[in-house]
């Protein structure tokens, strides 16, 4: 009996790790005819199914752009909802091709977990949300508070560090998903809900009375969120990376879903021409065809359009561009040149 | 054996045939061994193939197999800490905290399940219609709904319907403490804690260093139980010799509780009451929602199964035993306690072991309500932060296996003591 259990576990481990290396990721996706994208279990604005069951959001939009670039169909994407606990195993085992699920780029994840963070699509930081009637105006007043925290996240570690460094105590209430955290927080089982500020804003927008909750001014960490792929398949890593850069560069160069068709005919800016495949043959270097970036932009718009339509000022989430503005606008977005 | 023998001898004595390889297959004496060796070989081959595959795949993924992560700083906090722990300590220490939390929950759960189960099992056989039906409802409702659902229900009920600590604040609070000592909030129940003015220090036992005060009290309690056993045995000897049983209740009370009370007084034991301070209650002992939800969910659920086992055990004892006991003039309560249950135990113990094992393994559902047991610390956060799934899972399996084998070993010892002695 003991042996059976052991062998069973080894079998599971074997098969889990086994199939990822039969062929390259790109070949697998082309054979399969669809892209499998690891997404959030449901976070309004970033990745959640809408009323019709269609996945919508900022991270989802990136996967759709990738689907358009690789498979010429933004809807040929299957979304696999992953908790913060399951996401890396799902990616490592080949269950998903790419992880676009507000995942923080850290040293250990990049180096020790053998993942490749291809870039940052949202510069975030960890913050605290409290109810306004608690009368707290700074995170430094939270000594002794009960804090809801998603387990298996970087925020869990930041939280421990922040309270320790500031000589404060707290009572962690570990939860598995954002939905559970919101339920506990709204029930008053914790005083504070902490996670990335963008996710706090997203949660708050979904509350019955958003105005009763305040996000405290302290941002206690750097959380560069971005798409993640497995180590070892650099071609696929390049495709994901440059799709992200294509969306960012498109905004910088003024290419929008509105003027895309016009610019595809050719323009006098050679970088736009190279981006849209009019010249340079960049798509073929990636193992795709030359219109890949144009299709990605056509699917979801450029970075600015995607941001505005999912999480921007005009949406219920209401996030300002802040750090996520183009470098020319005082932000951190900076795509390498298409050359 | 190939030397020539006298042909006449061969006719009288059975001829001892020389060993021939074909006998491995056709001779019944060897065939079973052959098959077993062959099967073992196949099993080992299969295991070798799997292990080789794992090693190869890990190498392809660029991963090594190492338990070094256990000595790295964990970085995360745990709310329920039976032993000293902070986020700067190691993953191994965090796993140990989780292990102790698992044990605490398993012991509490088994105790609750046993008490409930024995009560419900006996009451279900009650001649009182209402009592037996009520218990039937309890058993059928609890054992037919998954334990995870019960855990979530208990967790949700406590989080959603109990008052927040802030409700206890102000001149006219909407909630108040029971006897000014127990506070039931949506974050758990705060009860008074026992503190000592004299601390004897700790018992140095490596990573787990229990307070000497409690070790001393436990030792005195155990000694009291043994002394009480001696008193009762003595009373039985006197009864057997003279036919009169000496009164023992006051001796038992004195031996069981006297020394403990003396020690409590000597060490200056006093109660520390929980009081509202800042965001939460401080002081006292905090029984968190997660612990209570797990305890009630597992205890009441498993209790329903134990009730059925107890009922089955009692029904297995022939009615003649009850009638004989009644004929001797024993009251129904004494009949149950002295005649039926001791015999029923022989039927009850073996399936009871399985229920204890089930409950212990079900503690791994803790993450559902955020209970920081071994599965949540080592098997959850640690694996997630270090990415050592294979190592973590193997360790987790080994620990659960060890816990289960220990429980089943202890229960088998008990079973051997109560089972029918055949001489």
Q: Is the pLDDT of residue A4 over 50?
A: no
- A 10 A CB-CB count for B64 gives 10
Q: Which residues pair with A37 in a beta bridge?
A: A79, A98
Sheet of strand A145-150, all strands in order from the earlier edge strand to the far edge: A170-175, A145-150, A192-196, A126-131, A213-215
**What token pair was written down for A76?**
């040929």
Q: Is B157 in a helix, a strand, or coil? A: helix
Phi, psi dihedral angles at B142 (to 5 degrees): -75, -35
CA angle B252/B254/B259 to nearest 5° reads: 125
Contact residues on chain B for A6, CB-CB shorter than 8 A: 397
Closest residue by Cα to residue B191 from B271, B269, B274: B274
Within 8 A of B51 by CB-CB distance, chain A residues are 10
Decide if B279 touches A, using CB distance below 8 A: yes
Angle (CA) B273-B279-B280 rounded to 5° is 30
Lowest-confidence segment of A47-56, A269-278, B248-257, B352-361 by average pLDDT: B248-257
A15: pLDDT confidence band, cut at 50, 70 and 90?
Answer: very low
Q: CB within 8 A of A42, min separation 6: which ones?
A: A48, A49, A81, A177, A178, A179
* A109 & A170 share domain: no
A152 with A291, same domain?
A: no
- Beta strand pairing call for A77-81 and A35-39: parallel
Q: Do B380 and A151 touch (CB under 8 A)?
A: yes
Domain total of chain A:
2
Which tops the pLDDT comparison, A12 or B371?
Answer: B371
Q: What pLDDT sits at residue A6?
A: 47
Using CA atoms, how far apart are residues A276 and A266, in angstroms rounded to an integer? 9
Q: Can you give the pLDDT at residue B6?
A: 53
Could you give the count of Cα atoms lying within 13 Å of B281 in the half-sphere of its Cβ? 32
Backbone angles phi, psi at A173, to 5 degrees: -115, 100
Question: What is the DSSP track for B377-407?
Answer: IIIIIIHHHH--HHHHHHHHHHHHHHHHHHH
pLDDT for position A17: 47
DSSP B90: B
* Mean pLDDT, rounded, of chain A: 87
Give yes or no: residues A82 and A109 share one domain.
Answer: yes
> Are A100 and A229 contained in the same domain?
yes
Q: Specify the CATH number for the domain of residue A196.
A: 3.40.190.10
**Token duo for residue B188:** 């758990």
Q: Is residue A115 part of a domain?
A: yes
| pLDDT-derived band at A19, boundaries 50, 70, 90 | very low
Q: Are residues A247 and A278 in the same domain?
A: yes
Residue B210, pLDDT score: 79
Asked if B372 is an interface residue toward chain A (Cβ–Cβ < 8 A), one would say: yes
Q: Which of 3.40.50.300, 3.40.50.2300, 1.20.1440.230, 1.10.3720.10 would CATH assign to domain B95-163+290-423? A: 1.10.3720.10
Judge whether A199 lies within some domain: yes
**Domain final position from A194, A221, A248:** A221
CB interface of A with B, residues 152-181, below 8 Å = 152, 156-157, 159-161, 163-164, 170-176
Those of residues 178-207 in B touching chain A at CB distance below 8 A are 186-187
H or E element that contains A270:
helix A270-275
Q: Which of A114, A146, A232 sits opposite B187 (nearest CB)?
A: A146
Are A151 and A266 within one domain? no
Q: Is A196 left (phi over 0), alpha (psi -120 to 50) or beta?
A: beta
Of A187, A205, A221, the residue that ends a domain is A221
Q: How confident is the model at residue A134, as a pLDDT?
A: 86
CB atoms within 10 A of CB A134: 16
Is residue A12 over pLDDT 90? no
Question: Are A10 and B51 a contacting pair at CB < 8 A?
Answer: yes
Residue A108, number of CB atoms within 10 A of its CB: 13
- Closest partner residue to A189 among B159, B279, B394, by Cβ? B159
**What is the predicted pLDDT for the residue at A2?**
44
Of B249, B262, B354, B253, the residue nearest B309 (C-alpha): B354
Confidence band, pLDDT 50/70/90 cuts, at residue A180: confident
Place of tokens 């002081």: B283
Q: What is the pLDDT of residue B327?
A: 93
- pLDDT < 70 regions, chain B: 1-17, 61-62, 422-423
A36 and A86 co-located in one domain: yes
Task: Give the pLDDT confidence score for residue A89 in this predicted structure.
Answer: 84
The whole-number pLDDT of residue B41 equals 94
> Does A8 fall in a domain?
no
B30–chain A nearest CA distance, Å: 26
Phi, psi of A317 (to 5 degrees): -70, -45
Domain stops at, among A221, A241, A275: A221
Token pair in block for residue B24: 């491995």
Per-residue pLDDT of A279-297, as tens digits, reads 888 999 999 999 999 999 9
B277 to chain A: closest CA residue:
A144
Residue A158, in any domain of the structure: yes
pLDDT above 80: residue A263: yes
Beta-carbon separation of B77 and A14 below 8 A: no
Whether A147 and A26 share a structural domain: no
- Inter-chain Cβ pairs, chain A and chain B, closer than 8 A: 133
Residue A3 falls within a domain, yes or no? no
Cα separation of A35 and A99, whole Å? 11
Interface of A with B in 202-231 (CB under 8 A): 231
The model's pTM is: 0.78
pLDDT at B11: 52
What percent of chain A is modeled with pLDDT above 90? 51
- Do A233 and A215 belong together in one domain? no
Instruction: Give the start-to-end residue ranges of the domains of chain B.
Output: 21-53, 95-163+290-423
Rounded CA separation A67/B158 (Å): 45
Helix (H) or strand (E) holding A218: none
CA distance B154 to B292: 8
Domain range for A194: 126-221
- Over residues B50-99, the pLDDT tens digits come to 988 888 877 776 677 788 888 988 888 888 888 888 888 999 999 999 99
A192 alpha-carbon distance from chain centroid: 24
Binary contact (B387, A2; C-beta < 8 A)? no
* Whether residues A48 and A113 fall in one domain: yes
Q: Which residue of B has its CA nearest to A106?
A: B385
Query: What is the residue whose two structure tokens read 């409950």?
Result: B359
Distance CA B272, CA B285 (A): 9
Smallest CA-to-CA distance from A192 within A249, A229, A144 is with A144
Interface test with B, best of A146, A158, A167 (most B CBs within 10 A): A146
The CA radius of gyration of chain B, in Å to the nearest whole number, is 30
Tokens of B59: 């190498």
Chain A residues in contact with B381 (beta carbon < 8 A): 151-152, 156, 174
Looking at residue B15, what is its pLDDT? 60
How far apart CA A228 and CA A209 sit, in angstroms, is 35
């Amino acid at each position: 009996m003991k042996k059976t259990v052991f062998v069973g576990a080894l079998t599971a481990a074997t098969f889990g790790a086994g199939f990822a290396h039969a062929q390259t990721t790109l070949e697998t996706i082309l054979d399969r005819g669809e892209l499998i994208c690891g997404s959030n279990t449901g976070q309004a604005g970033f990745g959640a199914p809408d009323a019709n069951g269609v996945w919508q959001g900022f991270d989802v939009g990136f996967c759709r752009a990738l689907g358009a670039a690789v498979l010429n169909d933004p809807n040929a994407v299957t979304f696999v909802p992953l908790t913060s606990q399951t996401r890396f195993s799902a990616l490592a085992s080949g269950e998903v091709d790419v992880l676009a699920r507000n995942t923080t780029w850290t040293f250990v994840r990049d180096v020790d977990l053998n993942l490749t963070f291809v870039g940052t699509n949202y510069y975030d930081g960890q913050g605290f949300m409290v109810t306004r009637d608690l009368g707290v105006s700074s995170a430094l007043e939270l000594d002794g508070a009960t804090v809801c925290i998603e387990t298996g996240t970087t925020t869990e570690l930041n939280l421990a560090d922040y309270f320790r460094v500031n000589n404060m105590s707290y009572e962690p209430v570990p939860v598995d998903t954002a939905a559970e955290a919101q339920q506990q927080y709204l029930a008053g089982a914790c005083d504070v809900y902490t996670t990335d500020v963008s996710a706090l804003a997203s949660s708050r927008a979904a509350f019955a009375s958003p105005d009763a909750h305040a996000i405290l001014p302290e941002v206690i960490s750097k959380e560069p969120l971005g798409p993640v792929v497995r180590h070892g398949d650099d071609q696929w890593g390049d495709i994901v990376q440059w799709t992200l850069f294509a969306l960012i560069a498109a905004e910088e160069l003024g290419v929008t879903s509105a003027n895309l068709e016009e610019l595809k005919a050719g323009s006098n800016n050679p970088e736009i021409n190279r981006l849209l495949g009019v010249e340079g043959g960049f798509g073929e270097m990636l193992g795709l065809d030359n219109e890949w970036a144009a299709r990605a932009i056509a699917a979801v718009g450029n970075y600015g359009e995607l941001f505005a339509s999912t999480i921007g000022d005009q949406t219920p989430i209401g996030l300002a561009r802040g750090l996520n503005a183009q470098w020319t606008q005082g932000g951190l977005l900076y795509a390498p040149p298409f050359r | 054996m190939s030397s020539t023998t006298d042909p006449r001898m061969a006719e009288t004595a059975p001829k001892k045939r020389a060993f021939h390889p074909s006998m491995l297959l056709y001779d019944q004496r060897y065939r079973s061994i052959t098959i077993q060796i062959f099967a073992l070989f196949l099993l080992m081959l299969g295991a070798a193939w799997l292990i080789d595959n794992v090693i190869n795949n890990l190498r392809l993924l660029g991963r090594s197999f190492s338990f070094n992560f256990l000595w790295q700083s964990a970085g995360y906090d745990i709310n329920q800490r039976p032993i000293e722990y902070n986020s700067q300590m190691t993953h191994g220490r965090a796993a140990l905290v989780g292990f102790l939390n698992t044990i605490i929950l398993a012991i509490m759960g088994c105790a609750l399940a046993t008490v409930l189960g024995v009560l419900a099992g006996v009451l279900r056989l009650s001649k009182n219609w209402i009592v037996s039906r009520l218990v039937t409802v309890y058993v059928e409702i609890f054992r037919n709904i998954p334990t995870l659902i019960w855990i979530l229900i208990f967790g949700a009920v406590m989080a959603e319907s109990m008052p927040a600590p802030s409700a206890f604040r102000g001149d006219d609070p909407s909630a108040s403490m029971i006897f000014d000592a127990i506070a039931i909030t949506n974050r758990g129940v705060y009860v008074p804690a026992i503190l000592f003015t004299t601390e004897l220090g700790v018992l140095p036992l490596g990573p787990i260093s229990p307070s000497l005060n409690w070790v001393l009290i436990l030792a005195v309690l155990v000694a009291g139980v043994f002394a009480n056993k001696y008193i009762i045995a003595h009373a039985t000897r006197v009864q057997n010799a003279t036919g009169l049983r000496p009164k023992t209740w006051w001796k038992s009370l004195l031996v069981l509780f006297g020394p403990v009370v003396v020690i409590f007084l000597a060490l200056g034991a006093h109660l520390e009451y929980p009081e509202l301070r800042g965001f939460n209650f401080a002081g006292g002992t905090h029984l968190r929602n997660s612990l209570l939800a797990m305890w009630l969910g597992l205890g009441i659920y498993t209790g329903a199964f134990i009730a059925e086992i107890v009922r089955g055990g009692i029904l297995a004892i022939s009615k003649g035993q009850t009638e004989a006991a009644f004929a001797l003039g024993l009251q129904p309560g004494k009949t149950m306690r002295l005649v039926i249950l001791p015999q029923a135990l022989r039927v009850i113990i073996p399936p009871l072991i399985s229920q204890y094992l089930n409950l212990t393994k079900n503690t791994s559902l803790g993450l559902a309500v955020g209970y920081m047991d071994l599965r949540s610390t080592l098997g959850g956060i640690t694996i997630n932060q270090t990415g050592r799934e294979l190592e973590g899972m193997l360790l987790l399996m080994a620990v659960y296996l060890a816990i289960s084998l220990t429980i089943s070993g202890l229960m088998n010892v008990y079973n051997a003591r109560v089972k029918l002695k055949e001489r």
